[in-house]
Structure 1
Amino acid sequence: MDRKRDIVYDIPSVGSLMWFDGMVIPKTAKHPDNAHAFINYILRPDVVAKISMPRDTLMPIWAH
């Protein structure tokens, strides 16, 4: 990527969540393939369910 990308979070007039989480990989990461594999693992529906269910939180993960 040669372009700088801005990240914007807009709050709708009807309200919004109080927070959001994000997983990112720095462009200087020494092992980006491992980082992608970890993120893909965490986002598996069965894994994210084990993480979110005991905490009464919802994760926006859809089964394909």
Structure 2
Amino acid sequence: MKDKRSHKRGVSISKENIRVAATFTRDENEQLKKLADEENRSVSNLVAHIVREWLKAR
């Protein structure tokens, strides 16, 4: 039986990666869309990139 609470920990999409949900205001989402378009990325890819860079800097 599948654990119905798995969404709280992230959803596994491969052995190495998980998918998580993030909540943004509509304004923040529009800002992210503009930045993502400028870099030829999706919003999801841009957010993942930003988080990876932030983690590297820590």
Q: TM-score, normalised by structure 2?
A: 0.32
Q: Does 1 or 2 have the higher relative contact order (CA < 8 Å, sep 6+)?
A: 1
| Structure (1 or 2) with the larger CA radius of gyration | 1
Higher helix share: 2
Higher strand share: 2
